[in-house]
Each structure stands twice: as structure tokens, then as C-alpha cells.
Structure 1
Amino acid sequence: MCKICTNADLCNFQTGELNEYTERSEMPNEIMCMALGQVPEGEQRSWFLAVGLADNTVRIISLDPNNCLSPCSMQALPSPAESLCIVEMGHTENTTTGANDEPTERSANTSTKGTIYLNIGLSNGVLLRTVLDPVSGDLADTRTRYLGSRPVKLFRIRMQGSEAVLAMSSRTWLSYYHQNRFHLTPLSYETLEYASGFSSEQCSEGIVAISTNTLRILALEKLGAVFNQVSFPLEYTPRAFAIHPDTGRMIIAETDHNAYTDETKNARKQQMAEEMRMAAGDEERELANEMANAFINEILPEETFSSPKAGLGLWASQIRGLDPIHGHTLFKIPFVQNEAIMSMCVLKFNIAADGRYYLAVGVAKELQLNPRITNGGSIDIYKIDPTCSNIEFMHRTEIEEVPGALAGFQGRLLAGCGRILRIYDLGKKKLLRKCENKHIPYQIVNIQAMGHRVYVSDVQESVFFIRYKRAENQLIIFADDTHPRWVTATTLLDYDTIAIADKFGNMSVQRLPHSVTDDVDEDPTGTKSLWDRGLLSGASQKSENISSFHVGEIIMSLQKATLIPGGSEALIYATLSGTVGAFVPFTSREDFDFFQHLEMHMRNENPPLCGRDHLSYRSSYYTVKNVLDGDLCEQYLSIDPAKQKSIAGDMFRTPNQICKKLEDIRTRYAF
């Protein structure tokens, strides 16, 4: 047992009879916190004491009876230490030896034990994890992670038979070792203040914690999971959603093919009941009436019995407002049978002086998928309540084609009506068409806007870069792509760069060269020379392909976002199969070269089970360019230790250094 006698004096007691050692150690500054490790198996004492001082340092003090309370090492900190915790996690590869290569008393049994880590919680919300040498007490290999805005408090618990650390800041995190790698995962729970390990017959590895003025007992599950998901059931398949900027509430467009609306279901029920009555004879009329009434009143849950199939070409749609925190439905706006919602966006109209947000919904009528036949479409405008608790229908604008994409643009509405790009403004009875561009080849499926530029995605001809000239009221194509791409999702990375995903599982990044200018004029007279009209039957300027990568699954959504507080931006994608992944940018050439060499070694040392060439797979449609396979690099943590040493030796590094690089780039962006 160690005790702080004054602000800077340390006393060491031998438990049992509580005998105090004669020496006391006076620290150079006020002691803020300290921590003892667990007593190793087969020994009588912990060998080291960690002490955090007010001078922004952590000192390791020896508890060896022959050299008690003598300093071993010190580490400077960027902020005062709030809490310390010494834990043993992971596994060591071989026996640690002393200076003469002979096992010492403390190192003789370390071959089967884990590595000792000192976790340091700082007052600025940062967690440091550093390796504590079990023989000399030296500190090395420090890793940093920002947890929250409050000082970090650390508590040692047990998880799956080994030690873990519960770190509490503005949210609670769990640091543990699982499947040959470290995890630092936030808990999907309320903010906790204090905690301790808890074990009982009902809960062998639990946590007892304090939150505000309540005592709680928790049990952790789904170790190794990155995301926590909560499901809210919907009536139809969600096709698109928009987030209200002021309240954060969601407006969801639900559409299903081969489905009935509730109104049509009730009408069909009445029709079938009437047919039952008509088919019965005079003697069975009373029985038929009873059966028909029972059929009408019987409600079969569709979750169990499935929904009735309407047939091809029949659609059911509705708009739902949802509170994403609690899952409450705020409102539902049903559509009539055979109307399918194809696109949706939230925007403000400059012409409306109320400052309210409006919801634009693109609807297709009587759409048949193959062959593609439609009876036109419409754009519905709704006014959104300031609290997003309700929406008010304004008017409907009939159009001749399906509105495949909608977007707000400079206080107006950009609409992709089939292959025509139009700008609409708000009118009293319908939308007012301001200008249009008819040069998109097939069908517009996505629209992005920034500044005066519009980035329009065609269903099979990649992205067109369009400049809006307000003075001439024109939309002019000034650049396009050299390759056909069947676009499923896009997102803007900056004013000149756009990320594109296609239906064959590829992701590419296109950028406009510095020589490209968007100050171009349209040629309505056709007097320009043939060689000035464009390249490859397109625009006169072309975008450059910056990177290409075959993901292997159809990407349905791309978004530039930050997943963790204080983290850097990454390109997040979600696929049709349910995968959520991230493309992260390299911040230095050194990191790129390191992971490029690691990927090369992993291709040779750990080939795929089915024997397919990794480079060939990632270049299935377009040659892989400027993208490294992080999934392949992460497999380094799970391969044989001998192969790990061999790869590390070829890269002139140690396995721990490679593991640290992998962890650093993972925690910098995601988890």
C-alpha cells in the first residue's frame, strides 16, 4: 500500500501487519494522482508505482524492497494528469532478459504474460497509453487519443478474463484487447462518473457505476463491434432521407414496388368481401355475411404474414418525419397508389421571405422498370414547420419526365427531369421554370452544387461539370469525364474534386486540372470549328482521374464526414450489402510509402484463400490508382508472428512499430 503523507511525500506500507518502510520519498511537486499495478501471479508485491505530479510529469517509482521508492523513469505530459491506471494486456512474444542476457527474478515468468501498459488520463480530455518495461520501469511507445471535453478518469475492470480500462470523459470509453488488437470503443450509454468492476453469480463480469445520483450495474456485450445500431421499423423501403438543419430531425421517403397503399388494401378487402357475398346462394347468405365481416375485421400483422403482393408496375409511397434520438414518428404523408418517390431535398427559396425550409419531393407516376415506361412525374413542394413536427402541402408541378434528382442551388431548386437539367423558383400555384440544359445524354441520377458550379451525374456517362451564368441565365457544360461510369453515388471533396461510385463496385476520384476554366460560352449558332467543339463527343475540357479502387460491393452512399470528436475528415461509404467503410487521406508521403510497402509484403506473404491475385481483384474494371487496401494491411495483426517479424525486418522496423502505425491511422479517423 502506498500513501501520500503530505502534498509531496510518499510512504510505502507492507500489508498484513501494515509495517512502514523507513524511507520516505519527497516528490519535487504536488502529487495529483497515483496508481499501483496488480500483484503478479506467484509474487507478493507490485514492482512499480506510477505518480502524476502537478508539473505535468508522470514518474515511475520502484517498490523493490532493496531499492524502495527510488525513481525509475519520467515522462513529460502536455497537460496535468487527472488519473493513472496500470494494466496488463495482450501477449508478449518472448522472455525479457536483463543486461547480461540472463532472466531476472521479475522477467522469468513473463513469457506467458501480457504487456504492462500505463494509461494516463489528462485534464484536457486526452488519454495516453504507454508501455511500461517490467524490468527497468522505462516508459516507451506512447499512443494518444482524444476522448472528450472533460478530464479523463480511469478505472480498472475485468473483461473476458483479462484486464481492461474504463475511461470516463464527456462520454465513457472502454479500452480492451480483443482478437489480437487493441480496441478503444465508446459505450452506447449515459455519461458515467465513477465505476468499478463487479462480479456476481448472475453477472460474472459486470460494472457498477454512478451516473448523477443513481447507482447502475452494467454488463458489456458485442466486444469488437465498431458501430452500435438501433433499428426503427418502417412500412416501406426507405429510398432517401433529408435532415432538417435546425432540429436534426429526419424526413424519410419510403417507396416500395409491387406493394399496395393502406387505402388500396382496404378497398381490396371490401371488394373481396363483396365477392364472397355475391358468390353465396340464398341459403348461405347469412353465413357468407358473417365470413365477409370477419374477413374485413381480421388484421394480420405484416411482420409475420408478409404484405400482399400487388403486381408489377404498382407502387406505394409515403413521407415520414422521424425523431432519430427516440425513434418517434412525427408525421406521415401517404401518397396515392402508383406514385413512387424518386428524389427529395430540403432547401430555402430566396423568393420566400419567411426564412422557412421547404421540402421538394420528386414523384414518378405509373413507372414500369423494364422496359422503362412512365406516365410523367411531378415535383411536390411542402413547407416545413420550424420544429419539423409537421409539413404543409403547398402545390404540385406536373412535368413530362421522372424527376431523378433534386438539389437546392442559390435559393432555387435544381431538378433533373429525365435527361434535362432545370432551375425552378417558387411560385404561388406551381414551380416556375427559369432555365434548362438539354445536353445530358441519358438520365440524371444525382446533382451536387457548390458556388456557381453544378455537378450532374448521368446514369451511365459519369459526371458533367456545369457552370451557371446568372447574367445570361444559362447552364453551360464546361468539362466532363473521359470514361463512362454507371453512377450510384457522388460527393464533393472540394470545388474541383468529386468522388464517384458506380454500380460495378468501383470508387474513383475525379479532379479538374488547373488549366480548366469554367468561364466558357455556349455556341448557339454552331459556327465554331469542328475540332473546337469537344473531345470524345463531349465537352472541350476533361477531368483527371486521381484515384480508382474496386470495393467489390455496390456503393449506395458517399459522404465526407468526421466519425470521432477531434478526428480528421474521411470519405465514408455504405454499400448495398450493408457494409460501412471509409477511405482516409494520407497526410504525409512517408505514411504513403510505409503502407505501400506493407501492402506489397502482405500480398506476397498472405495471399487470398481462393488464390485470386489481390492486385487483379482491386483492378477489376479500372486499374487501381493511388489507393492502398487497408483491409489487407490490417491482416498483419492476425498473421503468424514469424511472418510478422520477417515483414518487419524487410521494412527495417519492429512488429510493434508496424502495429502502432496501423493503430494510429485507424484512430486518427475512425475508431
Structure 2
Amino acid sequence: MQVLSVQSVSSPPESLLLLEVQASTGGEDGADHPASVFLNAGLQNGVLFRTVVDMVTGQLSDTRSRFLGLRAPKLFKAIVRGRQAMLCLSSRPWLGYIHQGHFLLTPLSYETLEFAASFSSDQCAEGVVAVAGDALRIFTIERLGETFNETIIPLRYTPRKFVLQTRKKFLVIIESDQGAFTAEERESARKECLEADGVGENGDANNVERMENGVGEDEEKEDPLSDEQYGYPKAESDKWVSCIRILDPKSGNTTCLLELQDNEAAFSICTVNFHDKEYGTLLAVGTAKGLQFLPKRSLVSGYIHIYRFIEEGKSLELLHKTQVEGVPLALCQFQGRLLAGIGAVLRLYDLGKRRLLRKCENKLFPNTINSIHTYRDRIYVGDIQESFHYCKYRRDENQLYIFADDSVPRWLTASHHVDFDTMAGSDKFGNVYFVRLPQDVSDEIEEDPTGGKIKWEQGKLNGAPNKVEEIVQFHVGDVVTCLQKASLIPGGGECIIYGTVMGSLGALLAFTSREDVDFFSHLEMHMRQEHPPLCGRDHMAYRSAYFPVKDVIDGDLCEQFPTLPPDLQRKIADELDRTPGEILKKLEDIRNKII
């Protein structure tokens, strides 16, 4: 027995699997090498180690590793689309398979498995038989090539915002629609229409025949005129419908549904713990009554509802509602009190017996406040058309001061607090941007013991005395509706996830080394020259549609590198002093940090 090659690993291997890949033009996994055998090793520290075995010499090369979970991965062969694939069973199951010429390793939305094997029968052509606990399961794998697993839960109206009830992990969702009928009115109008046409419960021969064939009444109801198919009936534009829903995300069941009466619509929501610990965590909901946008924006009045959680968080009880003069578009907890953005006024409320009590306010905001974030004694306020304002609350004076704002007008659609000096935002023209308060200004504000500098300093450009700096700018090309900092996989890097109005999801990941920045900026430059967009528009001009692109590498463009012809791949790799395999490995490493 002769030793052909040796590979050192970071932890003792628990499981080994040789996976053969049928060779095709350019290499099935996108890498430029003739080998088609991969050695996979599940290490005891939860890492999957993958390396290429040369078919002729047996040498090991192009090693890649990925953290899968806390348990050592057990590796099993499987068949997917008639080709060899690999099941990795760690603290959650993963499937490694080839899709559109790439080797993908994706987590399965399934419970923890102990052992697995490929299974085939007449009823189930490509299945997997597995041991889960003390049960034997047979399942098939569907929707290959999809990044996310989604579960759709139908709601009554358009969802606006939601918060997480931390103790029981329930979702509290507010839904509202303009120019719509309530669910009860829709149902009664529908019954009248069906009865008038002779299709309803009185029925005709067709209905009787369907019932005899075993088609239930529910299916018959859905058949003739489903609202999802034909659209919901329209009401007058000044009529609003709205509800508050508590949803158990594990089961998908609604535990509480409160319909708001009297033409009220919910616009903002937050959970709040007041200094008064009598009620524990409360729910604040901002609503507007009779809101109209045309011919002139007007409303009857705004309200802030305070609800208490009952029945272990499964239901809500109204404590009181406080009338306000504008639409409360933003609510946020702050130091045992409630911050509310009511029109262009930032106001601090405390809890009273019969209503909320005003403590202090600031009326110096230019337009309408639509987002509030807090950290320590700083408040980050998003204005609907003037970007971010940085505020400070001085407890000894009970005053709110604006000490910094943005010099660029931005029509904010989403915002997220990144760190003490940094905010991430997006505007309605499809740009994502980050702004940061300069370090010297931040230190000066924090070291000011009397607060005199904030109070008496002169404003600049008709605004606050200090200006924030734009540190990141990127044109997404779609209106971003939400921003969230998250880590999608165990051991993965924290990134900013954004969702757009057209339904796409994207991620912004911060680079950790200057070497990576140099590598990807040069790769992006070469991709712009060698692989221009199909429509002929300059890529740089597109990403700088409204503002010059700043400090963001277009990952979608870099991901197109494996689709280039092999000679073009080699040409770009030579310019970067790398091999095509090294570039692909770098791309995969960055992708694995996110998902």
C-alpha cells in the first residue's frame, strides 16, 4: 500500500465520503480542472472539509471548508436528478448536489436526522429513508436550486409592520387597507351576489352534482369568484379597514385578531416596558382615523392605543387610547417611556391611568417622522424626505436636542441602526446608503458635560450644527422596503439583509480585510470590461444612477464569473495573479459567510 497524498485537517475526521462527479465541458462544479472526484470529510468540530482528488496521481488540491453545525457531520450518498449527491447530517441536515453546473450545499428545512440512505421505489423514484429520533422517515427533496424555504400565511389585509413578542416568540402584525371593505362586509356582499345568480346555497344542478361527487361546500365557495383571482371589491377612498393579529409562527395559527372599528387604520407598532412595572410588556399601536390624501392630506384624528398581553401573550386587552393631532408613523421604547413621531413632532410619553402623559417634545423636524431608533441616550430619527436626524435626550433638563443631520435630502423608505454613530437607510429611488457621524463630533457631543454646545451652537444649511458623512452608497434598482441586521447561518457573518417591493432579498456583508477589498474591486473592474450587461448600459452608470457608487462591490456581477468562457476566466485570473479555481473558491467563501 503506497501513500499517494496527505492532507492535514483542523480536527479529527468523523466521516468520509468520496463523491464522483460526471465530467462535462468546463468542469461540472465550475472549476477549471479535469478531476471529477471529491473527498468530503466531516470533522468533529462541525466543519465539512471538501477537497479535489486528482484522477491520475491521487493528489489532493483545492480544499474548501464550511461550518455546518455543532455536531460532527455524518456523510451519506444520495441520488438527486439521477446524479450522485451527498447528505450531511449535523445539528441540521444539509444536501450537497449539482445544480446548473454548480455544486450547491444547502440546508434542508427538516428536523435533525441520525442516519440516512438513498431510497427508490415505484411510488417514490428519488427519496431518502432516514432515522429521526425513534422514527423511520421516507421523504423526497423538492424545489431544488431555491435559496430559501418559504411558508405562506394568508392575511386579511395588507400587512404594514410587525413586532416580536419576546417571551413567547409570537408575532404581532398590523394590517390595513385603504378603500376596502371589512372581511364581514366582503363575505355578506359575496353571498348576496351568489344568491342573486342562483349559485349559492340554494344552488343549481351543477352545485348538487358537485356535492354528490364529494366536492365540499368550502371548495365550491372558492370556485366561482375567488377574491384572490379577481381582486377585492373597492370602497370609497376615505374608508379604511385595519386589524391587529397575533400569530404563532411555529404553527402558523392566529391566536388573536382584533378588528379596528370606526374607520381607523394602524400605521405603527412597538412593544414597550414602562417604568411602572404593574403591567409588564405592553403593546403600543399608532392609528389614524379618516385619513385622506386627496385633494388635500387630512385626517379626523390620530390615536395611540396601549394594549396589555393576556392569556400568556395569546390575546390583547385595551388599556386606553390617547388622542393625538397627527398620524403616529413611528413608535419606539426609550428608557422606560414611549417615543412617538406624530407628524413633524417627536414626543416622549409616560404611562398614565387613563391616557398617555406628555413629558417633552421637539417640533424642529422638517417634514414627517417615519422611523425612530434609540441607543443609550441617543435617538436616531428618520424624516420622510430629509434623511436622518441625530438627537440627544438630556434627562436633567428633560429636553430633546437635534445635534446632527444629513446634508442630502433623502426620501426614506427603510432604516436600521448599525452602531453608535452609524445608520443604514434606503430611499424611494432604489438607493441603499449608510451615514456616519464623524468620530471627533461624536466624542465632542459625549464629552460635553453641560450640554451647552448642543443647545447654543448655530445650525448649518438651515439645519443642525453638525452633518453626518455618507460612507456607503449603492443603487439597488428597486425600492427597498425593509432593512435588518442578521446572521442567516450558524457561524456566519452578520450582514444587512434588505427586502424590496418586488419581492427580492439581498444582503450587504462587510469586508474584514483590505486584501479582500482589493481583490474584489479588481475582479469587479475586470468583469465590467469583459462581461458588460446585455442591455448595453454601463454597469458603473447604473449603480451610480442617483449618487456615485461608494465602497460597495456588486456581488451579483462577480458571481457571473463562473458563467464566462474558460479562456476568458483564465485571462481575468492571470490579470489578478490567481487561477480560476482560486477565484471561485474566494467567491464561494464570501457566499458561505452569508448563506
> In the aligned structure 1, how far is the partner of 2:136 from the partner of 2:378?
56
**Equivalences, count:** 564
CA separation of 1:218 and 1:263: change in aligned 2, threshold 3 A: closer
Establish whether residue 78 from structure 1 lines up as the match of residue 10 from structure 2: yes
Shift of 1:604: 0.7
Cα deviations by residue, 1:436-480 (Å, 9 ceiling, x for unpaired)? 000000100111111100000111000000000000000000000
Cα deviations by residue, 1:190-211 (Å, 9 ceiling, x for unpaired)? 2211111122333332222221
Cα deviations by residue, 1:19-58 (Å, 9 ceiling, x for unpaired)? xxxxxxxxxxxxxxxxxxxxxxxxxxxxxxxxxxxxxxxx
Shift of 1:372: 1.7
Indicate the residue corresponding to 2:302 in structure 1.
377
Establish whether residue 495 from structure 1 lines up as the match of residue 420 from structure 2: yes
Shift of 1:217: 2.0
> In the aligned structure 2, how far is the partner of 1:420 from the partner of 1:521?
23
CA separation of 1:293 and 1:136: change in aligned 2, threshold 3 A: closer
Cα deviations by residue, 1:390-426 (Å, 9 ceiling, x for unpaired)? 1111000000100010011111100000000000011
Indicate the residue corresponding to 2:516 in structure 1.
591
Establish whether residue 391 from structure 1 lines up as the match of residue 391 from structure 2: no
AA in 2 matched with 1:571:
I
Shift of 1:511: 0.4
Indicate the residue corresponding to 1:10 in structure 2.
none
Indicate the residue corresponding to 1:239 in structure 2.
160
Indicate the residue corresponding to 1:339 in structure 2.
264
AA in 2 matched with 1:366:
G
Contact 2:35 2:53 in 1 (8 A): no
1:660 aligned counterpart, secondary structure: helix
Among 222, 234, 252, the residue aligned to 2:173:
252
> In the aligned structure 2, how far is the partner of 1:618 from the partner of 1:261?
43
Among 282, 288, 292, the residue aligned to 1:364:
288
Establish whether residue 224 from structure 1 lines up as the match of residue 145 from structure 2: yes
AA in 2 matched with 1:623:
P
Among 460, 476, 483, the residue aligned to 1:535:
460
> In the aligned structure 2, how far is the partner of 1:266 from the partner of 1:394?
31
1:596 aligned counterpart, secondary structure: helix
Indicate the residue corresponding to 2:392 in structure 1.
467
Q: Which runs of 4+ in 1 moved over 6 A?
A: 92-95, 266-270, 290-295
Larger Rg: 1
AA in 1 matched with 2:575:
D
Establish whether residue 156 from structure 1 lines up as the match of residue 77 from structure 2: yes
Shift of 1:352: 2.8
AA in 1 matched with 2:261:
V
Contact 2:156 2:183 in 1 (8 A): no
> In the aligned structure 2, how far is the partner of 1:401 from the partner of 1:315?
16
Shift of 1:638: 1.1
1:136 aligned counterpart, secondary structure: coil
CA separation of 1:618 and 1:127: change in aligned 2, threshold 3 A: same
> In the aligned structure 1, how far is the partner of 2:549 from the partner of 2:364?
31
Indicate the residue corresponding to 1:422 in structure 2.
347
Contact 2:403 2:465 in 1 (8 A): yes
AA in 1 matched with 2:54:
D
> In the aligned structure 2, how far is the partner of 1:291 from the partner of 1:615?
59
> In the aligned structure 2, how far is the partner of 1:449 from the partner of 1:90?
55
Contact 1:555 1:576 in 2 (8 A): yes
Shift of 1:216: 2.1
> In the aligned structure 1, how far is the partner of 2:474 from the partner of 2:415?
15
> In the aligned structure 2, how far is the partner of 1:547 from the partner of 1:247?
37
AA in 2 matched with 1:261:
T
Indicate the residue corresponding to 2:52 in structure 1.
131
> In the aligned structure 1, how far is the partner of 2:162 from the partner of 2:116?
39
Among 89, 97, 104, the residue aligned to 2:21:
89
Among 60, 65, 70, the residue aligned to 1:144:
65
> In the aligned structure 2, how far is the partner of 1:293 from the partner of 1:492?
55
CA separation of 1:420 and 1:639: change in aligned 2, threshold 3 A: same
Cα deviations by residue, 1:465-510 (Å, 9 ceiling, x for unpaired)? 0000000000000000010000011111100001011110001110
Indicate the residue corresponding to 1:573 in structure 2.
498
Among 552, 565, 577, the residue aligned to 1:640:
565
Contact 1:363 1:378 in 2 (8 A): yes
1:73 aligned counterpart, secondary structure: coil
> In the aligned structure 2, how far is the partner of 1:247 from the partner of 1:90?
49
> In the aligned structure 2, how far is the partner of 1:223 from the partner of 1:553?
26
Contact 1:366 1:375 in 2 (8 A): yes
> In the aligned structure 1, how far is the partner of 2:454 from the partner of 2:19?
73
AA in 2 matched with 1:462:
S
TM-score by length of 2: 0.90
> In the aligned structure 2, how far is the partner of 1:655 from the partner of 1:476?
55
Shift of 1:292: 13
> In the aligned structure 2, how far is the partner of 1:265 from the partner of 1:128?
57
TM-score by length of 1: 0.80
2:4 aligned counterpart, secondary structure: strand
Contact 1:476 1:521 in 2 (8 A): no
Shift of 1:369: 2.3
1:142 aligned counterpart, secondary structure: strand
CA separation of 1:91 and 1:448: change in aligned 2, threshold 3 A: farther
Indicate the residue corresponding to 1:554 in structure 2.
479
Shift of 1:160: 2.0
Give matches, 1:44-55, under 5 Å: none
Indicate the residue corresponding to 1:7 in structure 2.
none
Among 247, 250, 259, the residue aligned to 1:325:
250
> In the aligned structure 2, how far is the partner of 1:440 from the partner of 1:511?
19
Indicate the residue corresponding to 2:94 in structure 1.
173
Among 507, 532, 540, the residue aligned to 1:607:
532
Shift of 1:375: 1.4
2:516 aligned counterpart, secondary structure: helix
Contact 2:26 2:566 in 1 (8 A): no
Contact 1:89 1:176 in 2 (8 A): no
> In the aligned structure 2, how far is the partner of 1:484 from the partner of 1:125?
48
1:72 aligned counterpart, secondary structure: coil
AA in 2 matched with 1:84:
L
> In the aligned structure 2, how far is the partner of 1:262 from the partner of 1:216?
41
Cα deviations by residue, 1:520-560 (Å, 9 ceiling, x for unpaired)? 44888xxx6xxx52111111111111010000011110011
Give matches, 1:79-118, under 5 Å: 79-89=11-21, 91=23, 115-118=36-39
Indicate the residue corresponding to 2:217 in structure 1.
none
Shift of 1:347: 1.5
Establish whether residue 481 from structure 1 lines up as the match of residue 413 from structure 2: no
Indicate the residue corresponding to 1:623 in structure 2.
548
Establish whether residue 190 from structure 1 lines up as the match of residue 111 from structure 2: yes
Establish whether residue 207 from structure 1 lines up as the match of residue 128 from structure 2: yes
Cα deviations by residue, 1:648-669 (Å, 9 ceiling, x for unpaired)? 111111000000000001101x
CA separation of 1:169 and 1:267: change in aligned 2, threshold 3 A: closer
Shift of 1:112: 11
Indicate the residue corresponding to 2:215 in structure 1.
none
Structure with larger RCO (C-alpha < 8 A, sep 6+)? 2
Name whichever of 111-120 and 240-249 sits farther off: 111-120
> In the aligned structure 2, how far is the partner of 1:597 from the partner of 1:350?
54
Indicate the residue corresponding to 1:28 in structure 2.
none
Among 402, 414, 435, the residue aligned to 2:327:
402
> In the aligned structure 2, how far is the partner of 1:246 from the partner of 1:591?
41
Among 446, 455, 462, the residue aligned to 2:371:
446
Shift of 1:268: 7.4
CA separation of 1:476 and 1:208: change in aligned 2, threshold 3 A: same
